[in-house]
Chain A
Amino acid sequence: MSEREVQERPLPRPTRISAPFWRGAAEGKLLLQRCRRCGLFIYYPRPFCPRCLAEELEWHEASGRGRVYTYTVVRRAATPAFAAMVPYVLAIVELEEGPRLVTNIVGCRPEEVRVEMPVRATFERLSDEVGLVLFRPDGMETDSADPEGQQ
């Protein structure tokens, strides 16, 4: 692996399958696939339903609400790219719709995060094509989508 990949934050590289998800996040929307045949909500994006194998999937804008299934506070950066963020909260959020995803909790101090805490999606726009899906404690003011400004 190159020096550059270690130094820079590894950003999503959208594929033919995942591009709508990342573009949605850039536009402030959390998009999940939903199977038209069996109704399953699917994350991460796939070409077919992992429960019934149907290819008929549609994009569905999720509520953005969920709760912290579990989390940790990263105190030593995995790679130099994350050194400036330390300490940061890495979490698994369970969405209202069912799927769980790996994300960061922003908008509060790491000590304030709790298991089962209600959270709401917030977005970090990186380009027209890519945004990161982050979460903040639910019920707080959400006028800013800039996680850097909240820490």
Chain B
Amino acid sequence: MKILWLAIKDIKLTFFDWKAVLILVITPLLLVLILGYALAGVFEDKQIIEKFTVAVVLNHPNNESENLIKQVEQHANQYIHLKEMNQEEAKTEVKSGEIPVMVTVSGDLQKADSIVIQHNIKAELQGKITEQVFNQIIQSSRLLGQAYKATGNTNAVPYQKEDHMETEDISETLFIENSSANDGKIVSSFQYYAAGISVMFILLTGMSGLSSIIEEKKLGTYSRIRMTYTSLPSFIIGKWLSTTATCLLQFFILILGTSLIFNISWGNHLGVLFLLMLAYVFAIGGIVIFLTIFIQTETMANIIRGVGVQIMVLLGGSMIPIHTFPEMLQYAAYITPNYWAQNGLLNLMGGRGFSSITVELLVLFCIGLLTFSIGFIRLSKGEEGNLG
């Protein structure tokens, strides 16, 4: 109960400071807005790319071409839906915009331009996605192995892209996708930055918890608490609780804000999302308690809040997509909790469920448990001779 009162006091202090609340809630929303608007023009409907239909026209179908379609259906059904129709039908649908993309597959895959991808002028992104899907499937040796066994020709990819209508180029960086080949997760830049900025600001909020411990030591309220019947462990758990609770609250506000104001989808599994949020704030709370062992002065805390968080944000890919980094740095990302949180969020935003974030949950939970345990054990002993 006392732990609760300690935590409530901290939360009260946080929310009485309206400037801090403003920074922690409005700034991230503004950042999402700014980044979102900067990129919005690229997306016609300013919406997330949802699963879309691709018209498939099979000219002289045979085993090979049917096999290809099957493979595509199997591996890419998360974000495209194939619909077989004849050439004329497909053209009409694509021209009218009913269906964004059509793929024409001729029977003989060994011939050049045996696969032609055409898309509606407004469906550049969908065209690009379809292109990548077919590209990946064809490149996978499964199909090529069969198709070219006879000829021994394994080089040329037998497809050609032909833009049906005039198009603009899509800048690569705006099209954010997971780089691993079999992972068809695709999220919009809006979602990407909503996730990145949220985890970043929650990191910042967590570090305010660190500052508040230092401030209490400076103010003498920490010493005073220790003169009461309140034990040091209660004080530490109280700080941990208020830090995680404030982070969680902020997380809720950011998710709610971004979905209501910017119509950003955080996926279809709210329960799993909540689990991920819990795991992330659990990790942050632990890290704060752990850092308290080493960070004793306000200056140090400010450095951690300023520089430390920035480094974590950059390393973890919260601002710049991580796959643009050199390999070494990509491994470094694994030590940042925000990397795991964001990765999990992006998975969920891509429409996937619990199984897609088990590793993230586990890693975050372990970070939280380990750091909290070490911090708690060390701090519970108190600091001999330090009047604080």
> Do the two shown chains form a genuine complex with each other?
no
Residues of A within 8 A of B (CB): none
